[in-house]
Each structure stands twice: as C-alpha cells, then as structure tokens.
Amino acid sequence: MEIFQEAIEQKFVFPLGQAEAVRDWMEFRFARDPAHYLGEIRSVYFDTPSLHLLEEKRNSDYQKTKVRLRWYESPDAQPSGPVTCYLEVKRKSGAVRRKGRQAVSLPAETLEGDLFGNPRIWELAARAFELDYFPPGTLVPVAEIRYRRFRYVDPETGSRLSLDTGIRCLRANLDLFNLNPPVHLDCGVLEQKGPSRFLLASQAPIAALLHKRAFSKYAECLEGLLQPTSKGIK
C-alpha cells in the first residue's frame, strides 16, 4: 500500500552537548507520542553513482529529493525473522515536505548483512517509480545512517516534534568514498512538522540553543565520508 503525506517541516540544529537541556524542556512542555515515543531509526539511502541527490542538497536546490529504505527498532529490540521496512521517497519544495512510502518485508539477516552487495536491496531502488518518482539515473545503495529519536506532540497546535541524537553512519558503499565509516555528527536535530513555518512560541525558553537550518542527516554524513575534515564531523 502506498501512503503519501504532506506537511511543513522545519529543522533546528543544536550542539550535542545541549541535548539533555533540549530534551528536558521537551519532556516538561509537550506530550510524549503515545504510539512511538522512543526508538532507533535506521535508513539505507539511495543515490546515483555520481551522487546527484547529494548535489541537490549541496547546491541548495529548491526542489530536493531523498530515496531511502527505513526501518525502526525499539530500545530492547532483538530482531529475528521478517522486518517491516518502508521504501520512502521524500521530496521538499522549500519548507513543504511530501513523502511517499511503501511497506516492504525483509529478513533480519538481510538488513544486518551486506547492504551494498545484496541484489534484493538494489532491486528496491528500482521501485521508486511506484511512488511517482523517476530518478535522473540508476539508484544504488550508498550509506546506512542511524540515530535515536524521541517523539512528542504539541497539544495546542497538533504539531509533531522529533528530537534526534546519536546521528551516525556505520556502513557505506566503499566504492564511492575516500574514508571508511564510522562517521559521527556532533550535533542533534529538532524536527517540527505542522502548520507553522516558525519555531513554536512554546519553545522560546530553549530558542537560544536552536539554530534553524536546512539540515540533512544524509548530506552531513556523506560530507564526512567525502571530506573528513568537514565541520560537525568527528
């Protein structure tokens, strides 16, 4: 089944050392997401061999696209058997986000094995057209990125808030990069999805810690693989 979602998405970056201060305020001010409060998110990103989608981000193109295979783990998960994953195409026009997703079932051993040499993973990229996306070239698996996400809801506006920390790339297609993983980002990200194009007024007490940016976990991690001295990479 294909699902399409559209929303205004804003991202605010903060130093990793301020993560606890930001989370303390979120816990005080907002409601925890009742269905999915805490979990680990893992994604395999696809791009062309020339990294066309990364170049869209580097060039600050108004229209930007990400193609990924995403799955979720609970804090105590020990996956075995089939895992429900989602093939996603995420497109942004300015701050407006449109995401299509399609459920895919894969064996746990496939996800823990060679992501970049497995024909099953490669075949999934070819299905992006089913989500109404026709890439500028052949898509290949490029990198796996992981992070921990805390989810909240603002009762006043209905906005959904995600706090992401521990952003890292542990595996990558080594035919494409100058440096082997891991790459760890020294920042966290607060994502706000809802009707507003601005930081919620209820975030005023921590506004000094948050810096609005067109931030991409995929792009930042890849910069660390292509240019190891990039700011924000360690």
CATH of the domain spanning 2-226: 3.20.100.30
Domain segments of the chain as ranges: 2-226
Q: How far apart are CA 112 and CA 118, in angstroms?
A: 11
Question: Quick check: 87 and 46 in contact, CB under 8 A?
Answer: no
Average pLDDT, the chain: 89
Residues, the chain: 234
| Structure-token match 């559209």, residue found | 6
Summarised one tens digit per residue, pLDDT across range 77-104 is 666 679 999 999 988 777 677 889 999 9
Going by C-alpha positions, the residue among 125, 122, 85, 88 that lies closest to residue 105 is 85
Q: How far apart are CA 28 and CA 152, in angstroms?
A: 11
**Residue 78 pLDDT:** 65
Summarised one tens digit per residue, pLDDT across range 171-203 is 999 888 877 889 999 999 999 998 888 899 999
Q: How far apart are CA 143 and CA 180, in angstroms?
A: 11
Provide the whole-model pTM.
0.89
Radius of gyration of the chain (CA): 17
**Residue 217 pLDDT:** 95
Q: Which two tokens stand for residue 57?
A: 């981000």
Going by C-alpha positions, the residue among 90, 41, 42 that lies closest to residue 67 is 90
Q: How far apart are CA 13 and CA 174, in angstroms?
A: 28
The H-or-E segment that residue 209 falls in is none
Per-residue DSSP letters for 117-153?
Answer: T-HHHHHHHGGGGGGT---SS--EEEEEEEEEEEEEE
User: How far apart, in Å, do the first and last CA atoms of the chain sit?
Assistant: 40
Q: How far apart are CA 8 and CA 28, in angstroms?
A: 24
**Residue 75 pLDDT:** 67
Give the residue ranges of the chain where pLDDT is below 50: 230-234
Q: How many CB atoms lie within 10 A of CB 133?
A: 15
